[in-house]
Amino acid sequence: MDPKGKVALITGGARIGQAVAQALAGRGCDIALTYRGSRDAAETAADFARTAGVRALVIRADATDEGQVRAAVHDTAGQLGRLDILVNMASTYVRTPNPSAAEWDAAFAANARGAFLFSIHAAPIMKSGGGGRIVNTSDWLAISGRPHYPGYTPYFASKAAVTALTESMALDLAPDILVNAIAPGPILPPPDLTADEDREVLAATPLARWGGAAEIAKAALFLIETDFVTGESIRVDGGRHLA
């Protein structure tokens, strides 16, 4: 699929979502961005898109609330005229030692339920327009079957669910809609990362560096532009899964 002249909805307009939005806008794709708390980041991405000469829309939506998800999808299609691409980037990454049922539910709601809800509401619109692309966000640990870090059970399980969701929906929505996932590794260092932790990550990553948000944008563009890849989860982790 050529993104030019198409409409993409990106959930989560901060950090990596900004890079994906900018990459698509640079290809001539109109953009809608949803946010829950990071409005400034979404507006920054929208301003970049408008500067690039495409239309941009910013919508507040909680990805765990079906009513808000439905409204965001239909507002996108209504205001921008169509919906061809969905990039599910909204997620949480929270350490939960001895997790409670509430923490389990919160992880699955943010990481798996949101992707599911946006997909089921976007798919009929995509089909009516001739087809589309859905790109989810998993995690290199989950698709590699390596929990590795203790204290992240709800997160790990919810990201594994995203991988399963990707494969199952790819089958259900074929041949009109291609569904794939990106599984990031060390892309952006957390703001509270210590120098020792940074050295540990670099030492465990064969490419010996953080990837940067642009690498996720490149992967997203590939999964949008391909016409014969579906049901895949692609690791973008600098070889981290090999170490």
Look up 155 and say whether it is catalytic: yes
Query: Which three-class secondary structure state does DSSP give residue 115?
Result: helix
The per-type count for the chain, helices as H runs and strands as E runs, is 9, 7
Residue linked to tokens 């049922």: 101
In this prediction, residues 71-91 reach a mean pLDDT of 96
State percent of the chain over pLDDT 70.
100
Sheet of 7-11, strand order: 56-60, 30-35, 7-11, 85-88, 132-137, 177-184, 233-236
Amino acid sitting at position 155: Y
* Domain ranges for the chain: 7-235
**Which one-letter DSSP state was computed for residue 81?**
S
How do the residues of the chain divide into helix, strand and coil, expressed in percent and rounded to 5? 50, 15, 35
In this prediction, residues 226-238 reach a mean pLDDT of 97
**Distance separating the N- and C-terminal Cα atoms of the chain:** 35
* Residues counted in the chain: 243
Per-residue pLDDT at 13: 65
pLDDT digits (tens, 9 = 90+) for 175-198: 999 999 999 998 998 888 899 999
CB proximity list for 190: less than 8 A, separation 6 or greater: none
Catalytic residue among 35, 149, 152, 155, which?
155
In this prediction, residues 111-138 reach a mean pLDDT of 97
Question: Is the model more confident about 100 or about 243?
Answer: 100
> Could you confirm whether domain 7-235 is CATH 3.40.50.300?
no
Give the span between the Cα atoms of 243 and 1, in whole angstroms.
35
Among 93-97, 134-138, 208-212, 237-241, the range scoring the smallest mean pLDDT is: 93-97
